[in-house]
Structure 1
Amino acid sequence: MDLRIQRSVVSNLRNRPKAIESGPFVAGLDPETTNPFINYASPVPGVPITAADVADLVTAFTAAGRKPRLEYVVSCAPELENLLIAAGFTVEERNQYLICTPQTLSANPVPDGLTLAEPTTDPDRAAVVATQNEAFGGLADDRPEVAVARIRRTQERGGIVIGARTAAGEWVGGGQTSPPNDGLSEVAGIAVREPFRRRGLGGAITAEIARRFFERGGEIAWLEASGDDSWRVYERVGFVPAGNRLYISRQV
Structure 2
Amino acid sequence: MNVDARIQQSVVDNLSNRPLPILTGPFVIGYDPGTESPGINYATPLRAARITATDVAKLIEEFRAVSRRPRLEYVVSAAPGLEELLLAAGFTVEERHEYLTCEPGSLVVPPTPAGITLTEPATPAELAAMIDAQNRAFGGDQEPSEADIARIGRLRSQGGVAVMALTESSGCAGGGLAVPPSEGVSEVAGIAVRPEFRRRGLAGAITAGVTERLFTAGADLAWLEAAGAGSWRVYERIGYRPAGKRLYLVRPQ
TM interval, short-chain normalised: over 0.9
Output one character per residue of 1:170-229: Cα deviation in whole Å (capped at 9) or x when no partner.
111100100110101000000000110000000000011111111111100100000000
How far 1:236 moved relative to its partner? 0.2
How far 1:131 moved relative to its partner? 0.7
Supply the distance in 1 between the matched residues of 2:144 and 2:194 (Cα, whole angstroms).
20
- Structure 1 segment 103-122 matched on structure 2, within 5 A: 103-122=105-124
| The one of 95, 98, 105 aligned to 1:96 | 98
Task: For 1:44, give the aligned amino acid.
Answer: L
How far 1:138 moved relative to its partner? 4.1
How far 1:31 moved relative to its partner? 0.4
Task: For 2:181, give the aligned amino acid.
Answer: P
Supply the distance in 2 between the matched residues of 1:167 and 1:208 (Cα, whole angstroms).
19
**Residue of structure 1 in register with 2:158 after alignment:** 157
| The one of 53, 56, 60 aligned to 1:54 | 56
Supply the distance in 1 between the matched residues of 2:123 and 2:45 (Cα, whole angstroms).
36
Task: For 1:110, give the aligned amino acid.
Answer: T
TM-score (norm: length of structure 2)? 0.97
**Residue of structure 2 in register with 1:144 after alignment:** 145
Supply the distance in 1 between the matched residues of 2:31 and 2:138 (Cα, whole angstroms).
21
Task: For 2:107, give the aligned amino acid.
Answer: L
Conserved? CA contact 1:135–1:191, under 8 Å: yes
What is the aligned-residue identity percentage?
A: 56
Supply the distance in 1 between the matched residues of 2:192 and 2:42 (Cα, whole angstroms).
22
Mean Cα deviation higher: 165-174 or 230-239: 165-174
- SS of match in other structure, 1:18: coil
Output one character per residue of 1:118-169: Cα deviation in whole Å (capped at 9) or x when no partner.
00100000000001101113486x8521111111001100001000011236
Supply the distance in 1 between the matched residues of 2:49 and 2:249 (Cα, whole angstroms).
19
Corresponding position: 1:30 with 2:32:
yes
Task: Give the aligned CA root-mean-square deviation in angstroms.
Answer: 1.2
* Uncovered stretches (5+) of structure 1, i.e. residues with no partner: none
Conserved? CA contact 1:129–1:144, under 8 Å: no
- SS of match in other structure, 2:21: strand
Conserved? CA contact 2:131–2:144, under 8 Å: no
Aligned length: 251
Supply the distance in 2 between the matched residues of 1:156 and 1:169 (Cα, whole angstroms).
28
TM-score (norm: length of structure 1)? 0.97
Conserved? CA contact 1:111–1:200, under 8 Å: yes
**Residue of structure 2 in register with 1:178 after alignment:** 179
| The one of 64, 67, 83 aligned to 2:66 | 64
Find runs of 4+ consecutive structure 1 residues off by over 4 angstroms: none
Conserved? CA contact 1:35–1:139, under 8 Å: no
Q: Structure 1 residues 59, 139: CA separation in 2 closer, same or farther (over 3 Å shift)? A: farther
* Uncovered stretches (5+) of structure 2, i.e. residues with no partner: none
- SS of match in other structure, 1:226: coil
Supply the distance in 1 between the matched residues of 2:140 and 2:37 (Cα, whole angstroms).
9
Supply the distance in 2 between the matched residues of 1:67 and 1:139 (Cα, whole angstroms).
23
**Residue of structure 1 in register with 2:190 after alignment:** 189
